[in-house]
């Protein structure tokens, strides 16, 4: 590492840059190079009284190494790991910025859908029983089955937002009260969320990222890197795809809200966001099916191809739509909100967006089995605003 940084120790600098909810992140710079150092404390950065195992950096590194096998251009190179200090040193992605911030600024990333769909298809296919031999998959699962961070997800996404809970908070009681009250008292919606939670807890389909929002992606015009994989575990593929789409749609609603209230002029940007969701899903399906055709060596679906693929993608679509709904609701009602909305200073405008997001998300969860395709969701988006 010292060779990479160059010069002597006195010329090196370390700057804490973490803006996530959980860990500390430093950029270590020297005359000829730099890298990122991520360290886990045994608590959550934003809630120091909330204990969280330091092993999370181990799961991050372990999953990065696995993803790197299949998608080396889309994850930062891993440089060094120290278990004792719970630290993980990796490639410094520069001049990348966090995608969420890019979306808030209204930036367009021409290769984003291509890159994210590539990451999703490569990692989800190659860690499933479509690619791995049964025993290979079970061996890999051994490394992740005790990832206790999953319990955090179970609570903050699938439980707390639907009950009265101290972690919940929202922008404006007056505007949001009725919608939140309606959600928390909707037995049918909560039953659907419970079914999605059951699948999250019990369906070991692939080694998923587990937290793939737009804050876990770094971008430039040319490049895309997926980071923060410490929530990785064997779960339903649709949870990753849904998380990403949900965050595109959160951005869509925030921009649309600003436009509607005359605070923003670029009406093309929401169209770009809407298309990003369509392109990401469509490219994902093409790539995933191509991998199935060309690289399948796992023992699942060993008899046929056409029918199995169609049904598999249909199930995955329903999961994706459902999880996207859950991921949006929790960002409005639950513990961790998103900057896309929080950065709208006028709380009336923000709350107005949020009501629309809640209605949209509810619709996705309740109707995921009958929503036919992305174009239907585009129509829903227009209708919502």
Cβ contacts of 107 within 8 Å, gap of 6 or more: none
Give CA–CA dist 191/141, Å, rounded: 29
- Smallest CA-to-CA distance from 122 within 208, 202, 61, 62 is with 208
Asked if 300 touches a second copy (CB under 8 A), the answer is: yes
Interface with a second copy by CB under 8 A: which range of 28-36, 61-69, 78-86, 127-135?
127-135
CB of 208 to a second copy, least distance (A): 12
By CB under 8 A, which span of 128-136, 257-265, 270-278, 365-373 interacts with a second copy?
A: 128-136
Q: Which is nearer to a second copy, 206 or 248 (CB)?
A: 206
Q: Footprint of a second copy on residues 19-58 (CB under 8 A)? A: none
In the complex, minimum distance from the CB of residue 52 to a second copy, in angstroms, rounded to a whole number: 13
Closest CA to 313 of 252, 238, 220: 238
Nearest-5° Cα angle at 362, 360 to 368:
95
DSSP β-bridge partners for residue 110? none
Closest C-alpha to 196, from 104, 102, 329, 304: 329
Whole-number minimum distance, CB 132 to a second copy, in Å? 11
Q: Which is nearer to a second copy, 139 or 290 (CB)?
A: 139
Q: Which two tokens stand for residue 339?
A: 């900057």
68 is an interface residue for a second copy by CB under 8 A? no
With respect to a second copy, which residue has the nearer C-beta, 148 or 382? Answer: 148
In sign, the C-alpha dihedral spanning 146, 197, 365, 339 is negative
Q: Which residues pair with 224 in a beta bridge?
A: 219
Q: Is 148 a residue that touches a second copy (CB under 8 A)?
A: yes
Residue 145 contacts a second copy per CB under 8 A: yes
Contact call for residue 204 and a second copy (CB under 8 A)? yes
Among 169, 311, 369, 373, binds a second copy (CB under 8 A): 311
Strand-strand pairing, 24-30 and 78-82: unpaired
87 vs 14: CA distance, rounded Å: 14
Instruction: Decide if residue 314 touches a second copy (CB under 8 A).
Output: no
Rank residues 23 and 128 by Cβ distance to a second copy and give the closer one. 128
State phi, psi for 68 to the nearest 5 degrees.
-60, -35
Q: Output the CA torsion sign for 242, 357, 252, 328.
A: negative
- The yes or no reply on residue 293 touching a second copy (CB under 8 A) is no
CB nearer to a second copy: pick between 202 and 375: 202
Question: Which of 190, 255, 287, 350 forms a contact with a second copy (CB under 8 A)?
Answer: 190
Question: Nearer to a second copy by C-beta: 122 or 205?
Answer: 205
Binding test (CB under 8 A) with a second copy, winner from 194, 268, 379, 382 = 194
Is residue 302 a contact residue for a second copy (CB under 8 A)?
yes
Q: Considering only residues 94, 139, 177, 369, which one is a binding residue for a second copy as defined by CB under 8 A?
A: 139
Q: Which pairing describes strands 33-39 and 24-30: parallel, antiparallel, or unpaired?
A: antiparallel
C-alpha to C-alpha distance for 312 and 307, rounded to whole angstroms: 8
Q: For the chain, how far is it from start to end, CA to CA, in angstroms? A: 51
Least separation in angstroms between CB 194 and a second copy: 5
Smallest CA-to-CA distance from 272 within 252, 257, 286 is with 252
Q: Which of residues 150-189 bind a second copy (CB under 8 A)?
A: 150-151, 154-155, 159, 162-163, 187-188
Angle among Cα 24, 25, 26 to the nearest 5 degrees reads 125
3-state secondary structure of 372: coil
CB closer to a second copy out of 240 and 340:
240
The contact set with a second copy (CB under 8 A) reads: 129, 134-135, 138-139, 141-142, 145-148, 150-151, 154-155, 159, 162-163, 187-188, 190-191, 193-195, 197-198, 201-205, 299-304, 307-308, 311
């Amino acid at each position: 590492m010292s060779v990479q940084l160059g010069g002597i120790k006195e010329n090196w600098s370390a700057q804490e840059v973490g803006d996530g909810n959980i860990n500390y992140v430093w950029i270590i710079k020297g005359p000829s190079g730099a890298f990122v150092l991520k360290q886990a404390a045994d608590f959550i950065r934003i809630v120091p009284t909330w204990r969280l195992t330091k092993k999370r950096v181990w799961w991050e590194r372990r999953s990065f190494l696995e993803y790197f096998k299949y998608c080396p251009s889309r994850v930062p190179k891993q440089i060094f790991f120290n278990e004792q200090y719970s630290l993980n040193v990796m490639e410094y992605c520069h001049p990348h910025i966090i995608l969420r911030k890019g979306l808030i600024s209204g930036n367009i990333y021409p290769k984003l859908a291509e890159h994210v769909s590539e990451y999703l298809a490569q990692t989800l296919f190659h860690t499933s029983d479509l690619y791995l031999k049964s025993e290979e998959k079970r061996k890999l699962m051994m490394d992740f089955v005790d990832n206790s961070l999953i319990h955090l997800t179970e609570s903050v996404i699938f439980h707390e937002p639907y009950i009265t809970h101290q972690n919940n908070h929202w922008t404006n009681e007056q505007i949001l009260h009725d919608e939140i009250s309606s959600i928390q008292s909707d037995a049918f919606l909560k039953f659907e969320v419970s079914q999605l939670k059951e699948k999250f807890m019990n369906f070991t389909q692939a080694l998923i990222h587990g937290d793939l929002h737009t804050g876990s992606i770094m971008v430039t015009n040319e490049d895309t890197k997926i980071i923060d994989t410490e929530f990785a575990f064997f779960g339903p593929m649709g949870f990753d795809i849904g998380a990403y789409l949900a965050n595109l749609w959160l951005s869509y609603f925030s921009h649309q809200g600003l436009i509607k209230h005359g605070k923003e002029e670029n009406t093309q940007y929401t169209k770009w966001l809407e298309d990003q969701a369509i392109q990401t899903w469509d490219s994902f399906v093409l790539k995933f099916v191509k991998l199935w055709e060309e690289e399948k060596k796992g023992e699942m679906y060993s008899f046929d191809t056409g029918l199995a693929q169609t049904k598999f993608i249909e199930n995955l679509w329903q999961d994706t739509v459902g999880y996207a709904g859950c991921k949006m609701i929790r960002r409005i009602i639950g513990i961790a909100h998103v900057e896309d909305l929080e950065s709208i200073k006028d709380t009336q405008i923000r709350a107005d967006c949020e009501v629309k997001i809640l209605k949209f998300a509810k619709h996705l969860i309740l109707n995921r089995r009958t929503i036919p395709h992305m174009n239907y969701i585009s129509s829903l988006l227009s209708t919502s605003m």
